[in-house]
Amino acid sequence: MDIKSIFDKVDHDLIAKVDRDFDNELMCSQVTFLYGARKLGYDEETALLAGSGFGWGMQHGERCGAVTGSLMALGLKYGYRNLEEFPNYKILKKVQAEFDRRFKEEIGALTCAEILKANYGVAKERELIYEEERYSNCAALTAFACTLLDELLDDTTYDDQLIRL
């Protein structure tokens, strides 16, 4: 991960805000899901609760929480609630794939373990993450995810194809 390239692409005020959120013990998944939920007018408290279990790659180094929260937020705009809205799923898959592509292109990975070069779910590796502060770039990375989320939520390409009942 080239942190300089991330800093060049992300508003520094947004990085500082994410840092403050982290200081308040929010997970990267909460930050990105809340960011998208706010943008779309959804309830903030529910977003914080729903996003709280996905940090540190769901505690096992899996999909990065910043990515997971973003994909959940994309679901708020492009998802479906029933069989009649199921055609939205094709759109959701396209938009999520675009998010993944852009994130991986810039960050180099989609999993927390790959990004941190250690798995939070393994005690000895978790100790390394904290001792070496391998998470120190996570605020910029999370802000970058929010920036991508902004672009994809603002995109109106599929809006006329969405089914809302």
Say if 160 falls within a structural domain: no
pLDDT digits (tens, 9 = 90+) for 95-122: 999 999 999 999 999 999 999 999 999 9
- In Å, how far are 8, 48, 54, 111, 158 from 155, measured between CA atoms? 22, 24, 26, 26, 8
Say if 109 falls within a structural domain: yes
Judge whether residue 5 has pLDDT over 90.
Answer: no
Number of folded domains in the chain? 1
Structure-block tokens of residue 102: 């852009």
- In Å, how far are 15, 60, 156, 163, 165 from 55, measured between CA atoms? 17, 9, 29, 31, 33
Mean of all residue pLDDT scores within the chain:
95
Q: Identify the pLDDT of residue 2.
A: 62
Structural domain span for residue 144 = 3-154
Judge whether residue 24 has pLDDT over 70.
Answer: yes
pLDDT digits (tens, 9 = 90+) for 45-72: 999 999 999 998 888 889 999 999 999 9
Say if 159 falls within a structural domain: no
Q: Identify the pLDDT of residue 139.
A: 96
Say if 161 falls within a structural domain: no
Say if 164 falls within a structural domain: no
Say if 165 falls within a structural domain: no
Judge whether residue 160 has pLDDT over 80.
Answer: yes
How far is it, in rounded angstroms, from Cα 114 to Cα 108? 8
Are the beta carbons of 72 and 50 closer than 8 angstroms? Answer: yes
Global pTM reads: 0.94
Say if 111 falls within a structural domain: yes
Say if 148 falls within a structural domain: yes
Q: Identify the pLDDT of residue 161.
A: 97
pLDDT band at 8 (very low <50, low <70, confident <90, very high): confident
Q: Identify the pLDDT of residue 153.
A: 98
